[in-house]
Amino acid sequence: MPDTHEVVIIGSGPAGLTAAIYSARANLSPLVLEGEPSNTSDQPGGQLMLTTDVENYPGFADGITGPELMQAFRDQALRFGTQIETVKASRVDLTKRPFGIWVGDPQALEPTYQAQSVIVATGAESLMLGLDREIAFVGRGLSTCATCDGFFFRGREIAVVGGGDSAIEEATFLTRFASKVTIIHRRDTLRASKIMQKRAFDNPKIEFLWDTVVAKYLGNGSISGLRVQNVKTEQMSDLSLSGVFIAIGHKPNTDVFKGQLEMKDNGYLITQPGSSRTNIEGVFACGDVQDDVYRQAVTAAGSGCMAALDAERWLEAQHG
């Protein structure tokens, strides 16, 4: 027989673990499926596990590292009786209650767990270039979050890779700190909206490197530059830089929910405005998996709290 729980939380970033803290304190004995170790941000603790210093999370005046912050979230969730399993959901059945959640073989007849309510907090992943040593450089000159890490590049020369709204927005934001920002784009026209483009073209600190791709990260321990290639001439050259921001898009971790939970065209889950409710009663979503706008640890944590309160109230109503 599958193990049955009042609340199963899938995901263990700031959203999932905040939902766990709140639902544990409401005596719901939540089970968190925290994911499995990997070398991407789709791992226990989520995207913050690939960040060094976090200086914008309220309450830590001197900053804290991403992994330390997530360990503190985890310890706090455990302290109130959360059960955490280091497994990844391979299949869910949200068509009937109790909901079914499988780990391991998705073809197994019986789900591994059953849940009266489910909180989805599987997060999103930044798309990466897939070059050698990429993950090792994250937090060491390589970043996917200008809001988080821009401050560390005061007075430095840096690059942003990408040509969409994110790249332009990040580059524009980064000019507050950096002495020069080079946008490296693989084509000779931007995908970004015209208004964002104009903002970047008008910014004297932004330069463009068109028709160019990154061939290699340079540096020992931390980024000292990039080897880039012009895709038209195939010519290689080296750029000396202190930092590189990858802004080529994000992918929400929603594959397992396809066909069951309503999603936007870009794969992000849809929640009802002002709540964490999804299209299925008893299933709630929080954090980056349903947020393609703010994507901050603190907003994820806030929405995790909302999901726990929504689940608690919903369960209370079910039990009469």
- Is residue 267 a contact residue for ligand NAP (CB under 6 A)? no
Q: Could you confirm whether 305 is annotated as catalytic?
A: no
Q: Could you confirm whether 145 is annotated as catalytic?
A: yes
Peptide bond into 98 cis (omega under 30): yes
- The Cα 280–Cα 119 span in angstroms is 11
The interface region with ligand NAP, picked from 19-27, 81-89, 116-124, 165-173 by CB under 6 A, is 165-173
CB of 266 to ligand NAP, least distance (A): 7
- Is residue 81 a contact residue for ligand NAP (CB under 6 A)? no
**For the purposes of burial, counting CB atoms within 10 Å of the CB of 216, is it exposed (0-12), middle (13-18) or buried (19 or more)?**
middle
- Is residue 252 a contact residue for ligand NAP (CB under 6 A)? no
- Beta carbon nearer to ligand NAP, 25 or 191: 191
- Beta carbon nearer to ligand NAP, 8 or 145: 145
Q: Hey, which residues between 166 and 195 contact ligand NAP (CB under 6 A)?
A: 166-167, 169, 186-187, 191
- The Cα 279–Cα 263 span in angstroms is 10
Q: Which residues are paired to 37 by β-bridges?
A: none
CB of 1 to ligand NAP, least distance (A): 44
The interface region with ligand NAP, picked from 60-68, 74-82, 156-164, 281-289 by CB under 6 A, is 156-164
Q: Hey, which residues between 220 and 249 contact ligand NAP (CB under 6 A)?
A: 248-249
Neighbour order of strands in the sheet with 236-240: 212-218, 225-230, 236-240
Q: Hey, which residues between 296 and 315 contact ligand NAP (CB under 6 A)?
A: none
Task: Please identify which of the residues 42, 145, 288, 310 carries the catalytic annotation.
Answer: 145
Cβ-contact 158, 174 below 8 angstroms: yes
- Beta carbon nearer to ligand NAP, 215 or 315: 215
The interface region with ligand NAP, picked from 6-14, 55-63, 159-167, 275-283 by CB under 6 A, is 159-167
Give the interface with ligand NAP as residue ranges (CB under 6 A). Answer: 129, 161-167, 169, 186-187, 191, 213, 248-249
